[in-house]
Amino acid sequence: MTSRTDSQSEVNTEEKAEARDNTRKVFVRTYGCQMNVYDSDRMTDVLASEGYTAATSLEDADLVLLNTCHIREKAAEKVYSELGRIRKVKEERAKNGKPMMIGVAGCVAQAEGEEIARRAPIVDLVVGPQSYHRLPKLLGQAASGTKVVETEFDIDAKFDHLSEQAAAPVRKRPPAAFLTVQEGCDKFCTFCVVPYTRGAEVSRSVSQIVTEAEQMAAAGVREVTLLGQNVNAYHGEAEDGSVWGLGRLLRRLAEVDGLDRLRYTTSHPRDMDDDLIAAHRDLESLMPYLHLPVQSGSDNILKAMNRKHTRDEYFRLIDRIRDVVPNIALSGDFIVGFPGETDQDFEDTMDLIRRVEYGSAFSFKYSPRPGTPGASMEAQVPEDIKSTRLAELQALLSDQQRAFNASRLGMTFNVLLEKTGRQPGQLVGKSPWLQAVQLDAPETLIGSIQAVEIVEIGANSLFGRLIGGQDESVQARHKAGPKVLKEAAFDA
């Protein structure tokens, strides 16, 4: 009896070892926006069904995917530089009989296409952001020795596949997650590559989004950020054939059990309608934070950028929003040194920032993107002037962010605890206004929403003290209805 058991144990051990040896590992490196983070997660999901598990390092990977972004300066060159480093790893693995496949995905893949395959022979697969749902088939083609370049705009098929994934068995998810509801942009700002790399505006259906949100909640997600290149232009079809805007979609998602927080990004001022603004008033779960890029405070530059709004229209929109949600935190994007920008144009931008008062913002020097109208415009601003203006603008934005953070000192509000911090016994979460909050708390509270008193302000974070017991009361107040919840939210 003992001998047979030992023999069986040896067989099981050998089978497990063989299974481990046959497991393929994928390493995904993500660049850029939140939508790329979402896409990378979905690529991992697609490959999991093919037997791939996540590699902890590039050196340990059988498949490396670079999910690229084309927004930042010299994006393509940075990808080629990274591929040069990966080539050495691939060659080293080959010496040990361990092949490695390399794929480039995302917006640089869409923009460069065949050029990547030509310039970087080590790349086996180039796949655009609308085609990653076909990864298993494309990898099969690449494994046979075919150089694969797939950059078709098959976004409907991608959205259908996302819905199929949402219906798959639930796996544990982090407390906060992204959910793509819309892709592409029809605005054609003269500095932007998005219409060329992501295509025209397309929205997922209401049922697709709700199904995925319900699956997320069942998997432990408590905060969902709805994503789109122009998310507030959402125009999804409902089951009765009607078309819903983002405000109505948010109201439906607020009814999903377990989803306690909703956010969305990135919005365009032209698509911020009354119903969406009213949703900020009506929904407790919709956080008091809005990323609403303006890019410039000069009417001359806004026109050159083809932004389709004026500075005065932006001011009036901000007033409407703050009339409804007085404590909302505003975030924005700013580009300095756009072609033709004068000292007065720049001062107009500084004036807009002073008048609006942002809680946070992102700012960049203009850098031409090949194929966009801005790249061929005359009166390009010298680099040294752009650098000087950016430093001045960022100093003002930093002052405003510090002032906004300081205004939270002594307040008590709900924090979603998401993960462990750098220090032992420390957890990190987000405030309703998207600020990082650090506090001492047990790991068992990860995924819960707790009342926290802010006792210290850091350069980029708030530091708090756990009040405790808040999560149960949050859930109880959800049953009381939106009006009661909204009143409770502003007690702090």
| Domain of residue 480, CATH code | 2.40.50.140
Q: What is the mean pLDDT of residues 20-31?
A: 78
- pLDDT for the residue 329: 97
Burial class (CB in 10 A: 0-12, 13-18, 19+), 22: exposed
Region of 149 (left: φ > 0; alpha: ψ -120 to 50; beta: rest) is: beta
- 254 and 198 belong to one structural domain: yes
Q: What is the pLDDT of residues 3-24, one digit of tens each?
A: 333 334 444 444 443 344 457 8
Question: What is the residue-wise DSSP string for 406-449?
Answer: HTTTT-EEEEEEEEE-SSTTEEEEE-TTS-EEEEE--GGGTT-E
Distances in Å between the Cα of 64 and the Cα atoms of 31, 67, 103, 118 are 14, 10, 6, 18
Would you list which residues are annotated within the binding site?
33, 69, 107, 185, 189, 192
- 16 and 142 belong to one structural domain: yes
Is residue 485 scored above 60 in pLDDT?
A: no
End residue of a domain, out of 357, 385, 406: 406
Q: At what angle do helices 246-253 and 274-282 cross, to 10 degrees?
A: 20
- 423 and 481 belong to one structural domain: yes
- Ranked by mean pLDDT, the top range of 82-86, 159-163, 223-227 is 223-227
- pLDDT for the residue 476: 46
Q: What is the pLDDT of residues 278-300, one digit of tens each?
A: 999 999 999 999 999 999 999 99
How many domains would you assign to the chain?
A: 3
Q: How far apart are the first and last CA of the chain?
A: 70
Residue whose pair of structure tokens reads 């040069």 in the numeric block: 84
Containing structural domain, residue 189: 159-406
Would you list which residues are annotated within the binding site for [4Fe-4S] cluster?
33, 69, 107, 185, 189, 192
Query: How many residues appear in the chain?
Result: 492
Q: For a pLDDT cut of 90, what percent of the chain falls above it?
A: 59
| Domain of residue 297, CATH code | 3.80.30.20
Give yes or no for a contact between 367 and 75, defined as CB atoms under 8 angstroms apart. Answer: no
Q: How confident is the model at residue 489 (pLDDT cuts 50, 70, 90)?
A: very low
pTM of the shown model: 0.77
- 70 and 168 belong to one structural domain: no
Q: Look at residues 459, 475, 470 and name the one whose alpha carbon lies nearest to residue 492.
A: 470
- Higher-scoring residue by pLDDT: 478, 271: 271
Cis peptide before 225 (omega within 30 of 0): no
- 63 and 206 belong to one structural domain: no
Cα–chain-centroid distance for residue 32?
8
Q: For a pLDDT cut of 70, what percent of the chain falls above it?
A: 86
- pLDDT for the residue 1: 37
- pLDDT for the residue 18: 39
Alpha-carbon gap, residue 411 to 434, rounded angstroms: 15
Q: What 3-state DSSP class applies to 60?
A: helix
- 279 and 396 belong to one structural domain: yes
- 433 and 364 belong to one structural domain: no
- pLDDT for the residue 120: 87
Alpha-carbon gap, residue 89 to 85, rounded angstroms: 7
- 115 and 20 belong to one structural domain: yes
End residue of a domain, out of 406, 429, 457: 406
Q: Look at residues 17, 70, 101, 10 and name the one whose alpha carbon lies nearest to residue 191.
A: 70
- 467 and 435 belong to one structural domain: yes
Q: What is the pLDDT of residues 41-54, one digit of tens each?
A: 888 888 888 889 98
Q: What 3-state DSSP class applies to 335?
A: strand
- 230 and 293 belong to one structural domain: yes
Residue whose pair of structure tokens reads 């942009």 in the numeric block: 185
Q: What 3-state DSSP class applies to 161?
A: helix
Q: How confident is the model at residue 157 (pLDDT cuts 50, 70, 90)?
A: low
- pLDDT for the residue 8: 40
Q: What is the pLDDT of residues 378-429, one digit of tens each?
A: 999 999 999 999 999 999 999 999 999 999 999 999 999 999 999 999 999 9
- 132 and 185 belong to one structural domain: no
- 145 and 192 belong to one structural domain: no
Q: What is the pLDDT of residues 88-124, one digit of tens each?
A: 999 989 888 999 999 898 878 887 878 888 888 889 9
Q: Out of 131-135, 176-180, 272-276, which region has the weakest mean confidence (pLDDT)?
A: 131-135
Q: What is the mean pLDDT of residues 213-242?
A: 95
End residue of a domain, out of 152, 171, 192: 152
Q: How confident is the model at residue 487 (pLDDT cuts 50, 70, 90)?
A: very low
Region of 265 (left: φ > 0; alpha: ψ -120 to 50; beta: rest) is: beta
Is residue 32 scored above 50 in pLDDT?
A: yes
- pLDDT for the residue 111: 77
Rg (CA), the chain: 24
Residue 117 tokens read as 């395959």
Cβ neighbors of 467 (< 8 A, separation 6 or more) are 412, 450, 451, 452, 453
